[in-house]
Structure 1
Amino acid sequence: MTSPFPAQTPERSAEIAATASLSAAEWAQTEERSNHHILRVMTWISLRLGRRIGRVVLAGIAVYFVLFAPGARRASRQYLKRVLGRDANWADGYRHVFSFASTIHDRVYLLNDRWDLFDLRVQGADVLDAVLAQGRGAFLMGAHFGSFEVLRALARRDAAPRVSLLMYPDNARKINDALHAINPAAAQDIIPLGRLDSMLRLQDRLDAGGVVGFLADRSLHDDSTATLPFFGQPAPWPRGPLRIAALLKRPVVLMFGIYRGGNRYDVHFERLADFTSLPRSQRAVAIDIALESYVQRLEMRCTDAPYNWFNFYDFWKGPEAEAAGPTEP
């Protein structure tokens, strides 16, 4: 079968490699808190003693972080004041941290295929089905908002195309370590960026009709960014993820896995952009249009579910604040 892609000329290969690198070395400097031993203990408690007891332990962890993580607490208050339109109190801060901790805790069950524990409600599945019917795979664009893991769990449950995650090498290694502590079979779904062969693997995955997800709300030090308003204040948004989709001429679907409390998650799919037939001369404009739409829709989702936003640093100051401040576990 003839490949739908143009031949990989040296110029095109260099262009893809330059986009894919996106300063992986810089990104690797941002530390993700992860403790393999603690994850194993928490996994044992969760699977042997049940989700209810696990959530009791989780409540104590959330209280600890609200009391003893001042940087995260300040960032949480700053964000909540903007999204709630009022000063955030301690109850708001606790709810914010507990929502985040709940989505992390639920990964233990989702990665072990315990779908029976959750009320998973899906809207817009026909959008993703229509895109995948084109046979070119798809990018799923998310954010550090809600749970992305719930999507991969749905794909396994429904025997749908597997969902891979596009990440930077150091983050991929740390996330793989974390996933291995929960379920060794889960680590295979991560594609690390930063090398040309990674992009070729990405292209192969898409050619096979696969789904590749990325979280596109964190800018990098030297990635091209657009300054767009987010809750009335300018913030830097990376063009890199959409640039990769445009270079590979693929459709992009928005995905939000919203945690509604208890055991309920609402999963939403929305069309964002289709770069399949986009002329190169129109690429830059199309990327910026799609990015602006992404930011607007993310703001709407945050307004609807304010405690699902999980960037615990001064987001509006950009990557410098992220490197200096707390990041997700």
Structure 2
Amino acid sequence: MKDKHWSNIAEAGAVSGIRFLFAVYQLFGRLPFRVCLYPVILYYFLFRKSAREASLEYLWHMRGQGRLQSRQSLLLQSYRHFMNFGESMLDKLAVWQGDITLDALEFHNHEVFDNLVQQGKGCVMVGSHLGNLEICRALAKRNTNVTFNVLMHTAHAIRFNEMLTRANSEAHVNVIQVSSISPATAIVLQQKIEAGEFLVIAGDRSPASGQGNVSEVSFLGELCHMPQGPFILAAILRCPVLTIFCLRRAGEGKPFYDLYIDYFADRIVLPRREREMALQQTLQRWADLLADYCEKAPLQWFNFYSFWYRQSTNSHSEKSADQ
């Protein structure tokens, strides 16, 4: 049976479940939240077979590339992968509520970002499902004159945005549901760029509309598809492109994050005759950068669906779970 596209798979944290866990956190704090989290994550780990196999496949690739240093079994690593995802759900909401402050962040290469703000230039910031993309809330707090627009695909965006607004109605961050970039949408986004606003979009999931707008790249030693959308959008908007990664430091207790902002391009240029080649080269650069950051925090890439061409997750899981 053909795997479902990621956009048709319910996220492991349903909105109702997130609400319950967030209520526990608000009433009792982080420790009781974690107590409740363990059985919830164990349930998903045991009964969400496709997500577990996708996790094992990813970890198998990481180990095969020498990017996973732990010698624990992949099965145990996979459970820890799930637990990291659970912790990230709380951190997403805690950031918006203001519980994770600037003191809990170390900015790397922030000069790149600050220069654009000082010039009043908007840009496209390409993020991923590695770490906590919602940390741009902290950037908005650090730069109160900057507005961030987070582009999300799924209908979950509407409900999640409502939760975030209730957590902090004063945040300078808009969550925009975008299934595809129509001419009307492009005009609206162009106006935001011209106003000096920032567009944040994930660059590690194939488009929900199908496999058409993707480039074939090598990622962690095997071919896969990466979405062209963020970079085509940047080319249309003729604006700078930055990448953003926010990784949680290992350790117990109150979370601490490293926020990395890297310059990717002043503009994405796609010559008409060499468009596909230019896109492929751009996407390969992006895939290589993503792999490097995955090595910094291997258990924080939260894509729990089959990512590579080869449909051999079962063989990976059975052969490698105990390695």
- TM-score per shorter chain, which class? 0.7 to 0.9
Return the alpha-carbon distance in structure 1 between the equivalents of residues 62 and 141 of structure 2.
34
C-alpha distance in 1 between matches for 2:193 and 2:156:
22
Q: Could you tell me how far apart the structure 1 residues matched to 2:37 and 2:136 are? A: 23
User: What corresponds to 1:294 in structure 2?
Assistant: 286
Structure 1 position 229, deviation (Å): 0.8
Selected match of 1:123 from 108, 115, 133: 108
**Bigger shift: 105-114 or 167-176?**
167-176
Assess if the C-alpha contact under 8 Å between 1:77 and 1:87 holds in 2.
no
| Residue 79 in structure 1 maps to residue 58 in structure 2 | yes
Pairwise CA distance, 1:43 = 2.0
Which of residues 260, 266, 283 is equivalent to 2:249? Answer: 260
Q: Is the Cα–Cα contact under 8 Å of residues 137 and 171 in structure 2 kept in the other structure?
A: no
- Opposite residue 124 of structure 2, the aligned amino acid is F
Letter in 1 for 2:236: L
**Given the superposition, is the C-alpha separation of residues 116 and 243 from structure 1 closer, same or farther in structure 2, using an over 3 Å criterion?**
closer
Letter in 2 for 1:115: I
Letter in 2 for 1:156: K
Greater shift, 111-120 or 70-79, is seen at: 111-120
Question: What amino acid does structure 2 have at the position aligned with 1:203?
Answer: Q
Equivalent pairs, count? 295
- Residue 169 and residue 58 in structure 1: after superposition, are their counterparts in 2 closer, same or farther (change >3 A)? closer
* TM-score after normalising by structure 2: 0.80
Render the CA deviation track for 1:174-206: whole Å, top value 9, x for unaligned: 433453565566696022324433322211211
CA positional deviation for 1:283: 5.8
User: TM-score normalized by structure 1?
Assistant: 0.79
More helix by share: 1
Does 1:205 pair with 2:197? no
Q: Does 1:89 align with 2:74?
A: yes
Q: Which residue of 2 aligns with 1:17?
A: none
Contact 2:147-2:173 at 8 Å conserved across structures:
no
Q: Give the direction of change, closer, same or farther, for the CA distance of 1:63–1:250 in structure 2 (3 Å limit).
A: same
Aligned mates of 1:302, 1:211 — CA distance in 2: 24
Matches of 2:84 and 2:13, distance apart in 1: 18
Long gaps (5+) in structure 2? 65-70, 314-323
Per the alignment, do residues 214 and 301 of structure 1 end up closer, same or farther by CA in structure 2, a change over 3 Å counting?
same
Counterpart selection for 1:60 from 29, 36, 39: 39
- Write the distance in 2 (CA, Å) between the matches of 1:107 and 1:90: 26
Q: Which runs of no fewer than 5 residues in structure 1 stay unpaired?
A: 1-25, 322-329
| In structure 2, C-alpha distance between the alignment counterparts of 1:236 and 1:28, rounded to whole Å | 15
Give the superposed CA RMSD. 2.9
| Percent identity of paired positions between Structure 1 and Structure 2 | 30
